[in-house]
Structure 1
Amino acid sequence: MRVEVDEHRCVASGQCVLIAPEVFDQRDEDGTVVLLESAPAPDRRAGAREAAMLCPASAIRALQG
């Protein structure tokens, strides 16, 4: 699995950080998403997928493969 983020689409809701704090963080100055792990470990993949599904701005993509 590979995770991608589009920082320009991010609306800084923080849902991704609440769901998968091992994979995502937020910038202090504006709350924009920061990707910590572009290829999450198997035990973190479900959280990354859920964060992508729940992102209100569709700024996160979880790609299989």
Structure 2
Amino acid sequence: MRIDVDMKKCICAGMCISLAPTLFDLDGNSRLIVIKSECTSPDDIKEAQDAMACCPVEAIRLTDLAPTE
């Protein structure tokens, strides 16, 4: 699962950071940063899904990773 954030939509409400602190954080300018953009563990995927569902401006999008050959 890949995490993408539309930074033009993001208002840094912080809900994603509260729900998924291993995936999201704020930088020194209080801007959102994605710590881990690719999630493979069930815990990370669940946290990413929860963060996406709670984002008040729907700035977080999750996509499946392309299979590797």
Alpha-carbon separation, structure 2, partners of 1:27 and 1:16? 14
Moved over 3 A (4+): none
Percent of aligned pairs with the same amino acid: 31
CA shift digits 1:26-51 (9 cap, x unpaired)? 2332x332111111231211000110
Which runs of no fewer than 5 residues in structure 2 stay unpaired?
none
Which runs of no fewer than 5 residues in structure 1 stay unpaired?
none
Q: Larger Cα Rg: Structure 1 or Structure 2?
A: 2
Q: What is residue 38 of structure 2 aligned with on the other side?
A: 39
TM-score, normalising length from structure 2?
Answer: 0.81
Say how many residue pairs are matched. Answer: 64
